[in-house]
Amino acid sequence: MLIASLLPLLERYSLGFDLVAGPDETVTLTVIPRNAEGKTHSLETGETRPISLTATASEIDDELARGAGGALGQLITTRKTLADQIAQQREATEAARAASAEAAKAKSAAAPSKQPSPATPAPNALPAEATSDEPASLW
């Protein structure tokens, strides 16, 4: 039951497990998602957050037996959906960056270079009749 319940996570991640016996015959099962071998994308913080279940062994078995309809199955489905959304958002962002870079490259190539004309004086230049030893007149 455990492995069948975790198959959706195994498609995307490598998983680590931790089992700890607690008081009153409780058990804590912790599933730790890791980057799968051969996967090139880096995982988001939310994707690598461990999933912990604390209950009696029979309660955990019952919850895992529910499969996709149980709490663990729903959590796995939600995480998978969110991970897919993150991947789609990354792809869209990269596509937008590439399109923006291409547009900027095309715009700079198409724009004529603006050379100041010799008849137009520089914005802060002195009038032609002013000499360097006398202040420029406003009239």
The secondary structure of the chain, three-state, reads CHHHHHHHHHCCEEEEEEEEECHHHEEEEEEEEEECCCCCCCCCCHHHCCEEEEEEHHHHHHHHHCHHHCHHHHHHHHHHHHHHHHHHHHHHHHHHHHHHHHHHHHHHHHCCCCCCCCCCCCCCCCCCCCCCCCCCCCC
Per-chain mean pLDDT for the chain: 78
pTM of the model: 0.52
**Confidence class of residue 136 from pLDDT cuts 50, 70 and 90?**
low
Give tens-digit pLDDT for 14-33: 888 899 998 889 999 898 88
Q: Is the predicted pLDDT of residue 43 greater than 80, yes or no? A: no
At 35 the pLDDT is: 80
The pLDDT of residue 96 is above 90: yes
